Structure 1
Amino acid sequence: MRKHTNNWKFAYITNFSYQENVYPELVKEIDICFSSKQVFHLLVGWLNQHEAKELFTLFVSNFIEYYRTGCYQVSITCD
């Protein structure tokens, strides 16, 4: 019998950005899927394992620094 735990796991992280053209629009720039272990970037497509690890490390460190500066607030909700 499997013991029930209340651990949360990330399924994916998606980063959106405004892309300029005649009518700027919000598009998916970075998509990190933990279950498939794949990372997508708008400008280069699917990344190999080494590139994915580098981008993920940079993304997380930037996220933490922006949070520390009070640039945005993070909230977690359960729907």
Structure 2
Amino acid sequence: MGIIIFLLIIGAGAGFIATRVMDLETDVVTTVAIGVLGAIIGGLILRFVATVIGWLGGFVGAVLGAVLLIWLYQKYGPKR
């Protein structure tokens, strides 16, 4: 029950700010609904973006690690 009250309070605040930014006049129920649904949609989008950035970060780290390994091999490996 506590999570529902928390979602309603956060939804009311987020909906209030969003309706003011977008210059939209709505009643309290619609404002809260906009805030709660916006939080759900925004959360999903942010998780997707964080996942993609995580994959790209891992790829960049892998490339940098490979470059470092090649440099170390050329610098300290067997001489030709």
Between Structure 1 and Structure 2, the one with more helix by share is 2
Q: What is the TM-score normalised by the length of structure 2?
A: 0.33
Larger radius of gyration: 2
Question: Which structure would you say has the larger RCO, counting Cα contacts within 8 Å and 6 or more residues apart?
Answer: 2
